[in-house]
Structure 1
Amino acid sequence: MKLAITTIDAFTSKAFSGNPAAICLVDQELSVVQMQSIAMEMNLSETAFVKRNVETDSFSLRWFTPTVEIDLCGHATLASAFVMEKSGWAKSGETIRFQTRSGDLLVKSDGEWIEMDFPLISTFEKEHPFFGNDFFGTKITRTAKLKGNWIFELEDADAVETCEPDFALVKNHSEEGIIITAPGKNSFDIYSRYFGPNIGIDEDPVTGFAHCALMDYWYKGSGKSNLKAFQASKRGGEIHLEKREDRVIIRGQAVKVLSGEIEF
């Protein structure tokens, strides 16, 4: 069996930055074992599979890390919409409806930017039982909890950039992973990084789902409903956020870097 596959760098306009995702547009059902095996072979933070649902005028979308299927992924959703438009599965400016494990997600392109309507992820302040006030030599000023993950606010953007975590300790003391964040610098409102060793990703380059929680976290702290965010991984990525009641509008760009076939 041969399957077309495309690699997209998401949340960036430059190749070799942002977050890479492998995208497969499929006309026939693949098994979970097949999808997980392809994701393991691609060895990117996410591989996404899009299947057309003719009866409902929608598309099913599933995301896999190299080790597990996950409930929500921003950058691979953005990349999927980008590939669909370029391949003729969708038209520029029209709304794409994705059916996912996190409910229906609406996505549309707006010129060079792609806009995604995602659920706001609720956070609540809670002290971490292990890290307390220190995260690998960096002071933690505030902590919050969300399903499967933690948010640690550090003193400033430089602390986020220079943090060097021990991934074994992060793995042992989190369910999925840990988001670190701080007020931004330059033109950005916030900085962040995401470490997810328990889902097969020591550090995710740019993380859409984390920003669904960061929007809630920073809105509760500052009251700002629009944020320009930078994820300060080595690859780096820019995300624009807007809170609309219990939803988050996430805007980003994407660029194609590779296309081919996978045979199995």
Structure 2
Amino acid sequence: PAIIQALGAKPIFAGRNRIDYLVEVASEQEVLDLKPDMGSLAAFSQGVMVTAKAARPGYDFVSRFFGPGVGIDEDPVTGSAHCCLGPYWQPKLNKSEFNAWQASARGGAVKVRLEGDRVFLGGQAVMVFQGELL
């Protein structure tokens, strides 16, 4: 499919939910090495999560999130993606708590915990803007 060609990936799984596409590749290195064609990806109105089992110590899986069709070539750390990635990895890794690494240029760690049909996320954040809605 066109989305796989735009990613330049060799998926071992490709699917989508109501909002985004999810692609699993065979290795963390494949996730790190991706150089997607952002112009081609922009034709898709959804975002694309690419993930693999982590090779780095202390982490369970790695990911990257691309969304040029929604104005974000690559999101540094994507909480909403991890709400999908946690349930995806749960049966594969047979656990419900994960340490995840989003391998963008900035990078970021996300703790993911599943309880029933809920996903809880944790990590560190830096406030860069504050406002008030009236």
Equivalent position of 1:130 in the other structure: 2
Question: Retained in 1: the 8 A contact 2:7–2:41?
Answer: no
Give the TM-score taking structure 1 as reference length: 0.46
Give distance in 2, aligned partners of 1:162 and 1:201.
19
Taking a change above 3 Å as real, the CA distance of residues 252 and 166 of structure 1, as seen in their structure-2 partners, is same
Larger Rg: 1
Higher relative contact order by CA 8 Å / sep ≥ 6: 1 or 2? 1
| Post-superposition CA distance 1:127-176 (Å, at most 9, x none) | xx43458941x31111121112111101111111110000111122x331
Q: Which structure 1 residue ranges, 5 or more long, are not aligned?
A: 1-128
- Gap change, CA 1:231 and 1:259, over 3 Å in 2: closer
Note the C-alpha offset of 1:240: 0.5
Aligned to 2:125: 254
2:32 matched residue in structure 1: 161
1:185 to 52, 55, 67: 55
Compute the RMSD of aligned alpha carbons.
2.1
Change (3 A) 1:134 1:171: closer
Q: CA deviation at 1:216?
A: 1.3
Q: How does 1:232-247 map to 2 (within 5 A)?
A: 232-247=103-118
The alignment of Structure 1 onto Structure 2 pairs a total of residues equal to 130
Cα distance between partner residues in 2 of 1:209 and 1:218? 15
Instruction: Work out which of the residue numbers 208, 216, 223 in structure 1 matches 2:79.
Output: 208
Q: Which whole-Å CA distance do the structure 2 matches of 1:148 and 1:259 have between them? A: 27
> Any gaps of 5 or more consecutive residues in structure 2?
none
Q: Quote the residue 2:19 is aligned against.
A: 148
Map of 1:22-41 to 2, 5 A cutoff? none
Deviations 1:39-81 (A, max 9, x none): xxxxxxxxxxxxxxxxxxxxxxxxxxxxxxxxxxxxxxxxxxx
Cα distance in 2, alignment partners of residues 131 and 200 from structure 1: 17
Aligned residue for 2:13, secondary structure, equals strand
**How far does residue 254 in structure 1 lie from its aligned partner after superposition?**
2.0
Counterpart of 2:67 in structure 1 is 196
TM-score (norm 2): 0.87
Q: In 2, are the aligned partners of 1:133 and 1:140 still within 8 Å (CA)?
A: no
From the superposition, tell whether residues 146 and 201 of structure 1 become closer, same or farther in structure 2 (CA, over 3 Å): same
Identity of aligned residues (%): 35
Look up the equivalent residue of 2:66 and give its one-letter code. F
Q: Does 1:175 align with 2:45?
A: yes
